Structure 1
């Protein structure tokens, strides 16, 4: 299990609103010009390389394209061409200093922006995965990537709290990304489903962690991605030790989730229930349906031949009991 921490809004957090004007780059301060900002970044990257020699490495990197006032109307989606170009220059520099990658989302010129990022990666031989962190849901993002021919170049960075905001569970979003071959990384946080904003809390719910890890196991892991603690302390947690408690708890919660998944797989009862639920498709007609070869005429003929279908119980309560018993 590969973990990373959010330096800028967790370890450097003040308890205030992070989305205001008095903000800087993640690891290097903004300069008065783009050239000065790039020079500042180069200087800090030199220190980062030194730290990597001590086995401290970034899980992925990102260009900060929303906090500065210039991005008030977006970056790759800005209506101002100068802002669009400035954002592209920041992304170019982020690619050059190395790491994995995350962007935002929209349409049209944004797709051209992503295409340019892919082209530059290939031009300089930067062999990494690109991650898109969506702002609605995984299905919308998958459709966007397919529409613009980018599905083979990008994977999704699923954020559990964003799943909450889109009206889905984190497991739903992970599975949607997984079955579309797009699951690349997880922002391991959670939110309050009763309110409508991004609370970015550390994950402590063992049940939710088990569902998260179930998707990860089904995906065959996340490498080269991992679990990024894109989470903040609660404002009343003011001691330095609270940072350590929160991250330790987050890692332990996911580890317990993984152990629970192992129990469920070894027991096999839950998988057996799912197989039984769909066993009617394990037939000649079912195979035709799944292959797209069963037309309405054939289905009507079978419906008349079989008469009123007998619908078996889905055993939902039994499934829930089996799941809860593993926690």
Structure 2
């Protein structure tokens, strides 16, 4: 039975860096204070439903390889309930505070819109009970607007307004469920909000419809009294060739166009960042600079593959750079680190689910400690401040003063009549400093 699937495993605990226990945390000490804040409160870890409990281990070349109880037979009411129970029990065993879901992750299959709503409502009732039983919380909920064939040409950007309306029904119910379950955020992941061929696509219409959809979602958030954050998850491509939410800057431009820059933030995924040609830390830093950093999907890709492999993070070096930007932003607020990651198809044992999550948790926790040490050391931060110190001086203030003209700034250069002094960016020193930690 699924309720007993994780019974042989003890709750995962912190045992320190010298532990030889494969089912213990070496770096994640949830009550440890880091820069005056508990580690658990910095990181706010969440387990995702879709990869860890819905995906059967299949790929485009082969059927599922997992034999978990809830994968046996159709995804009916019994199997869906088993899956929910197993998921919340697993999160409790990991001693992590949060989980995340799409609507279809937690419910039985349904055909009509009426059956869909009834099945999802039943799932939400059960989740509310399970959250109390297992002492877990919801980091964010979302609706799957990309899996069903009706969404083959997108949801909010679909050429057919009937599909737009179907998507609105799913999002309304998922947003209300997230509110009821005490969710901290609601995510809109536009998996097919883009196009494959310009020949059959009217970009202007699709963009306007996308903006209208998001405005309706924000309006409904306020109508129902949901105080959490609405998030968009940038992704450059896959499955569609051209995604409208390509990266953080693209999303911000979209939000500005439709007057939503103060209403919506971004949920950044590491693997999506690298697929867009950026680094993970770049996307976080950009979101910080634009004031829209919301939450993070923690995973990694494979540099030899051009698609979203969704592997568990395992590089302390890479995550330290990302964590520096999170700390500089003052943290994630309502957000957290959701493991949008999956074990490999050959990792078929229950223990493999533990090993994947424990490794990811410890990698991020250790990166947090390294990033905090770098900031507390102060050398890197002092150099960055000093490098831009001129903007706090007379010329810098004059350039940004109201009424300053281009001619006035240019006249300053003419009057000064000298070449600005070149100063080293000291990149190698910065890199060596990071490596010392």
User: Which bracket does the TM-score occupy, shorter chain normalised?
Assistant: over 0.9
Kept in 1, the 8 Å contact 2:399–2:409? The answer is no
Residue of structure 2 equivalent to 1:39: 118
Q: Deviations over 1:199-238 (max 9, x none)?
A: 1111111112112211221222212111110011122322
The secondary structure found in structure 2 opposite 1:58 is: strand
SS in 1 for 2:338: strand
The C-alpha deviation readout for 1:2-29, integer Å capped at 9, x for no partner, is: 11111122233222138x9x99911002
- Mapped to 2, the partners of 1:325 and 1:294 lie a distance apart of 46
Match among 199, 221, 232 for residue 132 of structure 1: 232
User: TM-score with structure 2 length normalisation?
Assistant: 0.70
Counterpart-to-counterpart distance in 2, 1:11 and 1:247: 13
Aligned to 2:71: none
Q: Does 1:264 align with 2:374?
A: yes
**Alignment counterpart, residue 435 of structure 2, candidates 320, 324, 327:** 324
In 2, the alpha carbon distance for the partners of 1:303 and 1:201 equals 55
Find the aligned partners of 1:167 and 1:242 in 2 and give their Cα distance: 31
Residue in 2 that maps onto 1:113: 213
Distance 2:319 2:263 in 1: 28
Confirm or deny that 1:187 pairs with 2:229: no
Q: Distance in 2 between matches of 1:309 and 1:219?
A: 32
Counterpart for residue 92 of structure 1: 172
* Equivalent residue, structure 1, for 2:266: 156
8 Å CA contact 1:175–1:215 kept in 2: the answer is yes
Moved more, 164-173 or 42-51: 42-51
Give deviations 1:261-289, integer Å, cap 9, x for gaps.
Answer: 11111211111221232233342112222
Q: Give the conservation status (yes or no) of the 8 Å contact 1:201–1:232.
A: yes
1:285 corresponding residue in structure 2: 395
Write the distance in 2 (CA, Å) between the matches of 1:234 and 1:290: 53
More divergent stretch after superposition (35-44 vs 97-106): 97-106
CA distance in 1, matches of 2:337, 2:105: 18
Does the residue aligned with 2:104 lie in a helix, a strand or coil?
Answer: coil
Q: Distance in 1 between matches of 2:136 and 2:412?
A: 64
Report what 1:310 is aligned to: 421
Q: Give the whole-Å Cα distance in 1 for the aligned partners of 2:215 and 2:412.
A: 49
1:162-188: CA deviations, max 9, x gaps?
Answer: 100110001110111111111111001
2:344 to 227, 234, 239: 234
Assess if the C-alpha contact under 8 Å between 2:54 and 2:105 holds in 1: no
Stretches of structure 1 lacking an aligned partner (at least 5 in a row): none
- Range 229-238 or range 299-308, more displaced: 299-308
Match of 2:201 in 1: none
Q: In structure 1, what is the equivalent of residue 223 of structure 2?
A: 123
Q: What is the SS of the residue equivalent to 1:131?
A: strand
Measured at CA, do residues 44 and 261 of structure 1 come closer, stay the same or move farther in structure 2, by a change above 3 Å? Answer: same
Give the conservation status (yes or no) of the 8 Å contact 2:187–2:230. Answer: yes
- Look up the SS of the partner of 2:267 in the other structure: strand
Could you tell me how far apart the structure 2 residues matched to 1:256 and 1:269 are?
20
Q: Give the match's secondary structure for 1:60.
A: strand
- The 3 A distance-change label for structure 1 pair 298 and 290 is closer
Structure 2 CA distance for aligned equivalents of residues 295 and 173 of structure 1: 31
Distance (Å, rounded) in 2 between the aligned partners of 1:120 and 1:16 = 37
Distance change in 2, residues 1:138/1:111 (3 Å): same
**Equivalent in 410, 414, 432 of residue 299 of structure 1:** 410
SS of match in other structure, 2:139: coil
Query: Counterpart in 2 of 1:6?
Result: 48
Structure 1 position 310, deviation (Å): 2.2
Distance 1:11 1:30 in 2: 15
Of 299-308 and 53-62, more deviation after overlay is shown by: 299-308
Q: How does 1:20-31 map to 2 (within 5 A)?
A: 25-31=104-110
1:312 alignment partner, SS class? coil
How many aligned positions are there?
Answer: 324
